[in-house]
Amino acid sequence: MTGRRMFGAQAVAWGLALGTGDSASALEAARVLAGRIGDAGPVAVLYGTDDAREGIAAFVAKRKPRFGGH
């Protein structure tokens, strides 16, 4: 957002990138990430919903979210 350049390792450390490597490892990383997203409540990955707010509240409270599908 600032236009400042950074190296890949720094982007990974800041959580802005999954990592570096060959295309096979990138595909596996994408599969793992897709699985994590799929494990979330289906509505929780959309902004402006009750589940999205619950997900954020649970994260802040360091507790497991209770998704209601709304």
What pLDDT score does 44 carry?
66
HSE-CB for 30 with a 13 A CA cutoff: 7
Where does the pLDDT of residue 62 fall: very low under 50, low under 70, confident under 90, or very high at 90 and above?
Answer: very high
Q: Decide if 54 contacts 65 (C-beta within 8 A).
A: yes
pLDDT digits (tens, 9 = 90+) for 8-36: 888 889 888 877 777 777 788 888 888 88
What pLDDT score does 51 carry?
85
> In this model, does residue 65 exceed pLDDT 70?
yes
Q: Report the number of distinct structural domains present in the chain.
A: 1
In a domain, 16, yes or no: no
In a domain, 10, yes or no: no
Q: Which two tokens stand for residue 61?
A: 């409270």
| Average per-residue pLDDT for the chain | 83
In a domain, 49, yes or no: yes
Range of the domain at 47: 22-65
